[in-house]
């Protein structure tokens, strides 16, 4: 089996294909079973396509090899499923979803716990007063405070604004007479994936929402 190397010596950045989309766009990578495993830049996606490590897929599960993309391209009504690279004399469509050809990697089962991931899971919204705030104005709140034995786990922390965090103090929501908007849970899909998919509607076809 061909080894999958996400780093490749093919360096499209040095070619005339370079355009803004290389910097900004994101591509969802699926394994052969159509399970999302990775988010890549457009630059990396082009490398995977060129090397026949991956093919593109659109919302109707139509697939596109690199040579098909260069010759036929997608039909105009599927424009939204593609990024477009501006070359000297044409537009090259790069699918927003790629399917790896011989790589059976499973999706990550374990979502890394971090402050940033908790904020993303909670959509940067204080779980007590429902205010949406930038991360600088949010705290990690332990639902059961550490002083009462609460652990730092997905199930015991939420995003909260500074005001609610102070108001709650070293108490549980019940003791403080405050109510949580949601029950904190371990996400089954990376919060980043969930956030980015809103920007790429075609990804919705391939990402299952957390139960
Ligand atoms: Zn609040």
Gap from CA of 105 to ligand 1 centroid (Å): 40
Q: How confident is the model at residue 9 (pLDDT cuts 50, 70, 90)?
A: very low
Distance 175 CA to ligand 1 centre (A): 16
Convert the pLDDT of each residue in 138-196 to its tens digit.
999 999 999 999 999 999 999 999 999 999 999 999 999 999 999 998 876 666 666 66
Domain boundaries, the chain: 12-108, 115-176
Share above pLDDT 70 across residues of the chain, in percent, rounded to a whole number: 77
More confident: 86 or 118: 118
Distance (Å) from CA 121 to ligand 1 centroid: 16
Cα(184) to ligand 1 centroid in Å equals 15
pTM (predicted TM-score): 0.53
CA of 125 to the centre of ligand 1 (A): 8
Distance 101 CA to ligand 1 centre (A): 47
Q: Residue 88: helix, strand or coil by DSSP?
A: coil
Q: How far is the CA of 155 from the centre of ligand 1 (A)?
A: 19
Distance 127 CA to ligand 1 centre (A): 7
Centroid of ligand 1 to alpha carbon of 199 (angstroms): 27
Using CA atoms, how far residue 132 sits from 14, 73, 119, 142, 195, in Å, is 41, 41, 10, 18, 14
How many angstroms from the chain centroid is the CA of residue 153? 21
For residue 119, report the distance from its CA to the centre of ligand 1, in Å: 13
For ligand 1, the distance from its centroid to the CA atom of residue 163, given in whole angstroms, is 6
Q: What is the pLDDT of residue 1?
A: 37
* Local structure of 132: helix, strand or coil: strand
User: Could you tell me the end-to-end alpha-carbon distance of the chain, in angstroms, rounded to an integer?
Assistant: 35
Name which CATH class applies to 115-176: mainly alpha
β strands within the chain, DSSP E: 26-30, 36-41, 54-57, 63-64, 82-86, 91-95, 97-100, 138-142, 157-161
Cα of 128 vs centre of ligand 1, distance in Å, is 5
96: CA distance to ligand 1 center in Å?
36
The 10s digit of each residue's pLDDT in 123-142 is 899 999 999 999 999 999 99
Q: Which residues pair with 125 in a beta bridge?
A: 132
Euclidean distance between CA atoms 66 and 56, whole angstroms: 8
Backbone phi and psi for residue 140, each to the nearest 5 degrees, phi listed first? -95, 120
């Amino acid at each position: 089996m061909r080894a999958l190397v996400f780093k490749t010596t093919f360096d499209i950045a040095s070619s005339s294909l370079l355009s803004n989309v290389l910097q900004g766009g994101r591509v969802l990578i699926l394994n052969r079973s159509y399970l999302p495993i990775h988010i890549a830049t457009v630059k990396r996606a082009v490398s995977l396509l060129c090397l026949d490590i991956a093919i593109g897929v659109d919302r109707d599960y139509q697939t596109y090899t690199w040579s098909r993309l260069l010759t036929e391209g997608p039909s105009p009504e599927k424009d939204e499923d593609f990024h477009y690279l501006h070359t000297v004399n044409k537009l090259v469509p790069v699918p927003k979803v790629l399917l790896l050809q011989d790589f059976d990697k499973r999706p990550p089962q374990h979502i890394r716990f971090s402050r940033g991931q908790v904020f993303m899971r909670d959509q940067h919204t204080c779980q007590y007063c429902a205010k949406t705030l930038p991360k600088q104005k949010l705290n990690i709140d332990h639902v059961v405070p550490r002083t009462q034995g609460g652990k730092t786990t997905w199930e015991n922390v939420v995003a909260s604004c500074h005001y609610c965090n102070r108001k709650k103090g070293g108490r549980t929501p019940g003791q403080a007479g405050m109510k949580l908007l949601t029950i904190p849970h371990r996400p089954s899909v990376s919060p980043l994936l969930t956030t980015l998919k809103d920007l790429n509607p075609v990804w919705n076809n391939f990402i299952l929402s957390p139960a």
